[in-house]
């Protein structure tokens, strides 16, 4: 591996190798982890795994998702016990999957599945970390949205609910989990009759107190804990739109669109806000 890296370095130079790694991350073609390992070796020159992790976080804050993922994978190569690198990489994979067109369903699903596996690895390393569990929930939620039949959707919904409850037991003030519960109520409350039959089969009946009102209650609690969060505002607007509370939904979406992105996923979320707003006007 070292000899191969040196050959790459002589022929292409460090900058070109890093660019190849970024392209590989974006395309989901890491050549069996070889490029990641090469970059991990490169990043290690004079740097600790913690320093490389910090560099990844800095790139993430700049919304440079593929580059951040390269760094996180490099940390994993250097220190496979870094639970934080695993869950941060999972979040980046989910983000990249969100940018893949729906027409490329297999590639999109594969990216989300990889994100799920990374999150599970982080949980195994640190079961008490809410961020690791959130990364798992995000990947499961994205997979659930692509579920091809009610059975898959209900199976994923059950896992998401269990994961959310486990996370709340760790930290009852963790705002993202209240968003998850709000989304969970929203999705179950609007199930069609076929999906309700699946719920009866796999849950033994609909969970108690599932309603749009509970969805709004949880989403607003998330916003109280973390005000001006685009994700929570879009979630609440979606419920309001379903309930035909159009004026409230429009006002919330307009407020969300005035906010600056705070994390890479906010770019996608603002696009969704724009699309919903156009549909309501």
- 150 pLDDT band (50/70/90 cuts)? low
**pTM of the predicted structure, to 2 decimals:** 0.78
Q: Tell me: the pLDDT tens digits for 62-111? A: 999 999 999 999 999 999 999 999 999 999 999 999 989 989 999 999 99
CA distances to 101, 128, 200 from 253, rounded to whole Å, are 24, 34, 35
- 154 pLDDT band (50/70/90 cuts)? confident
Q: Tell me: the pLDDT tens digits for 134-146? A: 999 999 989 988 8
Q: How many CA atoms lie within 13 A of 58 on its CB side?
A: 6
Residue extents of the structural domains in the chain: 1-77
Segment 220-239 mean pLDDT: 97
Compute the distance between CA of residue 152 and CA of residue 157 in angstroms, rounded to an integer: 9
CB 178 within 8 A of CB 218: yes
Query: Quick one: pLDDT at residue 187?
Result: 85
Query: Quick one: pLDDT at residue 204?
Result: 67
pLDDT > 90: what percent of the chain? Answer: 62
Range from 151-155, 188-192, 238-242, 244-248 carrying the lowest mean pLDDT:
151-155
Burial of 194 (0-12, 13-18, 19+ CB in 10 A): exposed
Higher pLDDT, 176 or 6: 176
Residue 24 has pLDDT above 90, yes or no: no
SS3 263: coil
Query: Quick one: pLDDT at residue 281?
Result: 87
CA nearest to 135, candidates 124, 148, 146, 151:
124
Calculate the average pLDDT of the chain. 84
As a dihedral over the C-alpha atoms of residue 48, residue 135, residue 39, residue 1, rounded to 10 degrees, the angle is: 100
Compute the distance between CA of residue 188 and CA of residue 199 in angstroms, rounded to an integer: 9
């Amino acid at each position: 591996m070292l000899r191969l890296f040196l050959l790459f370095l002589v022929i292409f130079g460090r900058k070109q190798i890093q660019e190849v790694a970024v392209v590989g991350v974006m395309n989901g073609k890491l050549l069996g982890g070889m490029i990641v390992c090469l970059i991990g070796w490169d990043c290690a020159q004079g740097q600790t795994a913690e320093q490389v992790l910090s560099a990844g976080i800095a790139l993430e804050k700049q919304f440079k998702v593929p580059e951040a993922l390269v760094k996180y994978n490099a940390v994993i190569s250097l220190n496979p016990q870094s639970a934080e690198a695993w869950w941060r990489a999972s979040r980046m994979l989910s983000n990249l999957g969100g940018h893949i067109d729906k027409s490329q369903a297999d590639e999109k699903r594969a990216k989300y599945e990889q994100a799920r596996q990374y999150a599970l690895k982080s949980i195994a390393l640190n079961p008490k970390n809410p961020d690791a569990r959130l990364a798992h929930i995000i990947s499961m939620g994205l997979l659930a949205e692509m579920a091809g039949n009610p059975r898959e959707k209900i199976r994923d919904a059950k896992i998401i609910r269990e994961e959310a409850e486990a996370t709340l037991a760790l930290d009852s003030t963790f705002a993202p989990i209240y968003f998850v519960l709000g989304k969970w109520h929203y999705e179950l409350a609007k199930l069609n009759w076929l999906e309700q039959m699946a719920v009866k089969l796999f849950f033994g009946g609909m969970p108690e107190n599932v309603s749009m009102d509970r969805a709004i209650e949880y989403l607003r609690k998330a916003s109280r804990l973390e005000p001006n969060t685009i994700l929570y505002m879009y979630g609440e607007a979606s419920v309001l739109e379903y309930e035909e509370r159009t004026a409230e939904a429009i006002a919330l979406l307009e407020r969300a669109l005035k906010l600056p992105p705070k994390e890479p996923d906010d770019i996608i979320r603002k696009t969704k806000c724009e699309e919903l707003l156009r549909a309501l006007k």
